[in-house]
Structure 1
Amino acid sequence: MQEEEDGAAREFLGSVLRDLPGQRQQLRPGSRTVSREEAQGELAELLLGFLGNRGAPSWLSATLVNAAVQQALEGDLSSYLQKKDATDLQELENESPKEEDIYCSDLLLNHCLSCLQDITTMWQSCLPPITRCSRQLIVSAHAIRNTRRKMEDRHVTLLEFNQLHGLTDGVERSYFAVFDGHGGVDAANYAAAQVHVQVANHEALAQDPARAVKESFQRTDAMFLRKAKRERLRSGTTGVCVLLEEERIHVAWLGDSQAILVRDGCSVTLMEPHKPEREDERDRIESLGGCVTFMGCWRVNGTLAVSRAIGDINQKPYVSGEGDVTSHVLNGSEDFLVLACDGFYDTVSPSEVPELVFSHLQENAGDGRSVAERLVNAAKEGGSGDNITVLVVFLREPVKVLENFLAQGCGEAKPLFDFGGKVETGSDHAG
C-alpha cells in the first residue's frame, strides 16, 4: 500500500516540476509586505493552497511545504528587505522600540518557490521517508457568502499538524479552526495563516498545550495589530480552534464562533461565547472606560457585537485579543466535533445538530463527507443572512456514528464546562 502511495507521490512531484514554471506568475501573496515572524505562516498558506489545488495528498504537501519554507527562511534574507521611503524612515525615527524588519512578499515568495522546486526535484528522484498521520479522520467543511456582500469567513483543516511544522516528539496532533471576519477579510486571512504557527512554535506546547493554544490567539492579535498599524487595516475576526492531541482535545476561542462536541448522540456544551451582554465581559469593558449599549443587539461602544477579537485596532483594549481555553480527555464515546461561526448558531441551536447529522447519515448510508453542507443549508433555511461556515470533524467513522445514533437517540448532555472555571467529569483543564 505504501509503495503505491510513494509511486503516486513521485508521479505527482513530477507534474509539479513540469507545471511550476508556468504557475509561478499566478501565485500572489495576500499582502505587499511581511515581517520575519509572519513569513512562515504566509508562505506555508500559499504553498499549501497551491499543492492542495493540484490534488496533493495531505501527508505529502504538509511535509513538502515544511521543507520548502524552512529552507527559504534559513540564512541571510537581507536581499528581500522592503526598501523604505522617506515617510517610512520618518515613522521609524518615532518608533520605540526599533521597528522589525519588513520583507517584500513577492521576492520572498519567489525565493520560496525556488526552494520548493529544488526540493521537489530531489524528492521526485528519491522520496525520503515521510510519517503519515495514523488517525484517519473524516472532515466535512462547507462555507457560503449567503446574502452578505463579501465572504469574510475562513476555515483551516490541518490533519498533519506535526508534519507541517516539523514536530517529531511522537505526540500526534491535528488542528481545526474557523475564523469569522468583520470589517474586511484581512484579519480572518491573517488568523487562518498565523494562529497554528504560533501554536506549533509556542514554548509550552509539549508541557502545557492548552496554554499554548490559548496564548496563540493573543500573540496573533499582537502581530496583526502591528501589521494593521503598518498597513492601516481596521478589520477584526473572532475565532475558534481545536487542537486534537491523541486522546485529548484543546478548544480555544475568542468572540462568538463556537465549537460543540457530540458524544453518544448528545450535544455537549464546551464553551460560552464572548458577547458584550455577558456580565463579566460588560464589567471588563466598563472598567476600561468603554460602554455596552443595545442597538438592535448589545454592542461594544455602540459598534461591535462581540467583546473579544483579533484585530479591531480602533476598539482596543475594550475588544480584547485574549482567548479562553478548555481541554477534555476523550473516552471513545465521542461522535464528532462541529466548529462554526455565529452565522450558523444564530438559527441552529447546539441541541439540533445531532438530529441534523443523524438524518444526513441515514439518508446517505453513513457517508458524512457532505454533512457540513446539510448543516449550512439548515442555518440558511432558518433565516440566517450572515456568512455561514461549518466544519465537522468525525472522531469515529460516520457509519459508527449512525449506529450510535440509532442505539442511543439524540439530545442535549450536561455541559462539560460550567463557565465559572470548574471542570465537569471528562475534562481535565479549563482556562
Structure 2
Amino acid sequence: MCLSDMEEEEARSFLTRFTDEFPTALEQDTPLPANPLSPKVSLHELHGESLDLGLRLLSARGAPPLLASLLCHSAVSELLQSDLSTFHCPLEDEHHTVCESQSDALPVLLQSAPVQRLFVNELINAAIRWQQNVPALPAVSRPLVSTHAIRNARRKMEDKHVVIPHFSQLFGLNDGIQRSYLAVFDGHGGVDSASFAAVHLHVTLSRQKDLTSDPESAFKQAFTQTDQMLQQRAQRERVRSGSTAVAALIQGQRLLVAWLGDSQALLVRNGTEEEIMDPHKPDRECGFCLGFCLGFSPGDFDQKPYVSSEADCCSLELRGDEDYLLLACDGFFDSVRPSAVPRLVLEALRNLGAGNAGVAQVLVSRAKESGSSDNITVVIMFLRSPREILRDSASSE
C-alpha cells in the first residue's frame, strides 16, 4: 500500500519547499539551521542527537511526520557509515575522562557542529533525490496526538516529552509491525538528565534484539543502558540532575508502558479510566530505594545506590475499544485525579471539536487552576477517532 493522493501531494509540497530553501549541501562555514544539543558527542550518542536535530529541523518546516521519519532514517544511516575520524576531539581534552571503575579506554568524542553539518547535508541530499523522484512511501496511520507543557510557577522548565508516531520507519524496522512511542520526563535539579533521556531512550529501545520477542525485557534494558550512557555524559560534563520517566510503546496490538518515578500513564477505555501502572512515590520502599529518596529516576548519580535506574514495565493487549493513552508528570496528577480525566477530555472534545489537538492544553490549564505550581506536561495519543468517542458518549447518555 502507498500513500493516498492527498498525502503524496503533501509530501511533494514539503520536499519542494525544503529543497528550495536548501538547494545544495551546506558549505563548511555555513551555520547549522538547527543547534546541536552539545558541543561534543560520543559515538554512542551520535545516533540520538542526529535524529533529534533532524526531527526538530524538519518539524519546524512543517514536514509530514512519516516523511520526516523516513528522511531522518535515510540521513542517519548514511552518516553512521561515514568516516568520522576527522571530527574526533583531541584525546588531551580536560573533560575527556572516565572514572576508574569503567574501562581504561577513553570514549571517542566528536565535534558536534561539523559532524552534524555532515548529517544535515545527508538530509538535504535525500530530500533532493526524493523531490526529483518521490519513492513509494508506506501507507501507515497517523494517530491524533495532543501535547502541552508549561513551566508554571517554577523558576525553570525541567520537563521534556517525546512523541514518535512512526517509530518503525524512523529506525528502519522492516518487520511489518507498526509502532508508536511517547514519553514524558520530569527533571529535578536541572533539565540535563531529562533532556538526555528524551533524546536517547527511544534510540536505545530500537536497538534491543528482543524488542519483538520479549518487549518488556527490551524496555527495561533500554532504561538501564540509557542510564549508563548518561553516567558517561555526567562524568565528562558534571551533570548532577535526575529525572523521572514514563514511556509507552504501541507495538502492533500490544501496549507497553515502562516507568521510573512518579510520572504516570493512564489508559481510557470506553470512557472509563484504567490505572495500568503503580508509580514510584517517594514514600514507597522498593528494592534499594529508601523512603526519603526522590523515587526512581535516571541520573541522580550522587544518590546511587539509593535511587534505582531499573524500570518497571507492564504490557497488555489492545482490544480496539481503547479511547486514548495519556502520559503526564506529577505536576498534573498531583492536582487532577485519574478518575476526572475522562470527563475533562470529553468536555474538551465537545468544546473544541473532534479534530482539534488542543485537548492537552485544556487538561494542563485545569491542573494549574486546581492548584498545581509545578511544571506540567500532558501527552495524549488517541487510539480511536475522537468522533467515535463523542458519538459513543452521546449514545450512552
TM range (shorter): over 0.9
TM-score using structure 1 length: 0.86
> Does residue 1:279 correspond to 2:285, yes or no?
yes
State the shift of 1:275 in Å: 1.9
Q: Relative to structure 1, is the Cα distance of residues 112 and 136 closer, same or farther in structure 2, using a 3 angstrom cutoff?
A: closer
CA contact (8 A) 2:96 2:106 kept: no
**Rounded Cα–Cα distance in structure 2 between residues aligned with 1:204 and 1:198:** 12
- One-letter code of the match for 2:131? Q
* Alignment partner, residue 206 of structure 1: 212
CA contact (8 A) 1:255 1:273 kept: yes
Q: Relative to structure 1, is the Cα distance of residues 328 and 97 closer, same or farther in structure 2, using a 3 angstrom cutoff?
A: same
Q: Bigger shift: 57-66 or 312-321?
A: 312-321
Q: Relative to structure 1, is the Cα distance of residues 4 and 29 closer, same or farther in structure 2, using a 3 angstrom cutoff?
A: same
1:285-364 matches, cutoff 5 A: 285=289, 291-292=290-291, 299-300=292-293, 306-364=294-352
Give 1:375's match in structure 2, choosing from 355, 363, 374.
Answer: 363
Q: Relative to structure 1, is the Cα distance of residues 374 and 17 closer, same or farther in structure 2, using a 3 angstrom cutoff?
A: same
Give 2:372's match in structure 1, choosing from 366, 384, 388.
Answer: 384
Give 1:111's match in structure 2, choosing from 105, 108, 118.
Answer: 118
Q: Relative to structure 1, is the Cα distance of residues 111 and 397 closer, same or farther in structure 2, using a 3 angstrom cutoff?
A: same
Give 2:16's match in structure 1, choosing from 11, 14, 17.
Answer: 14
Q: Bigger shift: 219-228 or 120-129?
A: 120-129
Structure 1 residues 48-84: Cα deviation after superposition (integer angstroms, max 9, x where no partner): 0000010000111100000001101113211111113
Q: Bigger shift: 271-280 or 351-360?
A: 271-280
* Alignment partner, residue 159 of structure 2: 153
TM-score using structure 2 length: 0.93
* Alignment partner, residue 233 of structure 2: 227
CA contact (8 A) 2:96 2:107 kept: no
**3-state SS in 2 of match to 1:190:** helix
Q: Bigger shift: 87-96 or 99-108?
A: 87-96
State the shift of 1:15 in Å: 2.1
Structure 1 residues 144-203: Cα deviation after superposition (integer angstroms, max 9, x where no partner): 110111111111111111110011000111111111111111111111111111111111
Q: Relative to structure 1, is the Cα distance of residues 360 and 5 closer, same or farther in structure 2, using a 3 angstrom cutoff?
A: closer
Compute the RMSD of aligned alpha carbons: 2.0
**3-state SS in 1 of match to 2:154:** coil
Q: Relative to structure 1, is the Cα distance of residues 5 and 398 closer, same or farther in structure 2, using a 3 angstrom cutoff?
A: closer
State the shift of 1:94 in Å: 9.3
Aligned length: 390
* Alignment partner, residue 257 of structure 2: 251
* Alignment partner, residue 427 of structure 1: none
**Rounded Cα–Cα distance in structure 2 between residues aligned with 1:390 and 1:319:** 25
- One-letter code of the match for 2:372? S
**Rounded Cα–Cα distance in structure 1 between residues aligned with 2:168 and 2:205:** 11
Structure 1 residues 102-151: Cα deviation after superposition (integer angstroms, max 9, x where no partner): 11111210111121122222111112222232x34211111111011111
**3-state SS in 2 of match to 1:174:** strand
CA contact (8 A) 1:261 1:268 kept: yes
CA contact (8 A) 2:244 2:297 kept: yes
Q: Bigger shift: 92-101 or 341-350?
A: 92-101
**3-state SS in 2 of match to 1:313:** coil
Structure 1 residues 176-231: Cα deviation after superposition (integer angstroms, max 9, x where no partner): 11111111111111111111111111111121112112221111111001100011
CA contact (8 A) 1:347 1:379 kept: yes
**Rounded Cα–Cα distance in structure 2 between residues aligned with 1:94 and 1:361:** 54
CA contact (8 A) 1:48 1:61 kept: yes
CA contact (8 A) 1:155 1:389 kept: yes
Q: Relative to structure 1, is the Cα distance of residues 277 and 126 closer, same or farther in structure 2, using a 3 angstrom cutoff?
A: same
